[in-house]
A = this chain, B = another copy of it.
């Protein structure tokens, strides 16, 4: 593009190196057929001119399709949380389609690690140039990304991190600090009893994510040296009967709980319980901008929702792959999402 005088094209490089543009092109794309001497000469000029490829021309001319795989949980009856990342992915897909990018989505069942493995295998069978994944199953994910690494396929994590991996990027919350924020929010309606509950509604009580959130939650009270008693409530069965049974027992054993902090998006089932039992005196904090949660927020049975922009995570995850594969631009290794505080008053304008 001659619209900017400081940009040179392959023609100028070829002129200075006394070769054809075909040779310059071979060097740019690391194809064979150029002598080491010529290659060095061209690379020096590329560096000297700070050559920047014209992406429009490049993608127009190239017949290569860049296939990307997305590996995320399927939207389930229990939670439609995964609708939001998918929405972001669809948005990014529409934006980058014009560059010859083809996105394929592979869903797995959050309750079935075998489905994750099956879809991971399908991805490895295909010719994908990049992978965006939610590493819900840590060990299975490690196995999958080892294969990606061997094939030199960049991968991006969303929603949760797998520590010490060579991922291109992690885009998700800082979970410890998220729990810390939860603790602060649970103090706003504390009166005198100073007892709060941490509720984990999940088949797995000690997942890596949950532990970090709880650790952050407890740290707040320790840092502030607040005389708060924290009751941990584990609810393994996620159906509403079980939630009712377990909460009934816990609130009977601890009848002076003033606030409840739910560590994931199933806070609506606690809110339903509080509504049914006319316990609007208990402050409730949980996660995620889901329709059920918003409904209880508006009815004031939930005080705060903590949200990490899952839609934006999906969008940014795919854009990170585009940035590295198409633009050849650097990507920030870790992108922590904001820890958003959503209330009844500001929820209408929340951007997930």
Measured CB to CB, the residues of A under 8 A from B are 1, 3-4, 54-57, 59-60, 63, 65, 97-100, 102, 173-174, 177, 180-181, 184, 188, 220, 336-341, 343-346, 348-351
A65 to B337, CA, bound (A): 36
- Tell me the bound Cα distance from A175 to B344 in angstroms: 16
Q: How far, in Å, is A25 (CB) from chain B's closest CB?
A: 17
Does B351 lie within 8 Å of A55, measured CB to CB? no
**Does A98 lie within 8 Å of B346, measured CB to CB?**
no
Q: A54-B98, A341-B341 are in contact. Are A346 and B177 (CB under 8 A)?
A: yes
Known: A177-B346, A181-B345. 15 other contacts (CB 8 A): A1-B98, A3-B100, A3-B102, A54-B98, A56-B59, A56-B98, A174-B349, A177-B345, A177-B348, A184-B343, A188-B188, A337-B351, A338-B346, A338-B349, A338-B351
A-B contact pairs, 29 of them (CB 8 A): A1-B60, A3-B63, A3-B65, A3-B100, A3-B102, A4-B97, A54-B98, A56-B56, A56-B57, A56-B99, A57-B60, A60-B60, A173-B349, A174-B349, A177-B345, A177-B346, A180-B345, A181-B345, A181-B346, A184-B345, A188-B188, A337-B349, A337-B351, A338-B346, A339-B345, A339-B349, A340-B340, A341-B341, A341-B343
Specify the chain B residue showing the minimal Cβ separation from A102.
B3
Complex Cα spacing A351 to B86, Å: 21
In the complex, what residues of B have CB within 8 A of residue A346's CB? 177, 181, 338-341
Given the complex of chains A and B, what is the CA–CA distance between A89 and B180 in angstroms?
33
Tell me, in angstroms, the Cα distance from A346 to B175 when the chains sit together: 11
Kindly state the separation between the CA atoms of A45 and B18 in the bound complex, as whole angstroms.
Answer: 48
Q: How far is the CB of A103 from chain B (nearest CB, A)?
A: 13
* Nearest-Cβ distance from residue A212 to partner chain B, whole angstroms: 15
> Which 10 A/B pairs are nearest by Cβ-Cβ distance?
A339-B346, A341-B341, A56-B56, A181-B345, A188-B188, A56-B60, A184-B345, A181-B346, A338-B349, A336-B349
Q: Across the interface, do B100 and A1 meet the contact criterion of CB distance under 8 Å?
A: yes
Residues of B within 8 Å of A180, CB to CB, are 345
Q: Which of B59, B220, B345 is A345 in contact with, Cβ under 8 Å? A: B220
What residues of B have a CB within 8 angstroms of the CB of A339 in the complex? 345-346, 349
Chain B: CB-nearest residue to A312: B351
In the complex, how many angstroms separate the beta carbon of A144 from the nearest chain B beta carbon?
A: 28
Bound-complex Cα distance A344 to B348 (A): 23
Determine the chain B residues whose CB is within 8 A of the CB of A1 once the complex forms. Answer: 60, 98, 100
Q: Are B65 and A54 in contact (CB under 8 A)?
A: no
Query: Shortest beta-carbon distance, A182 to chain B, in Å?
Result: 9
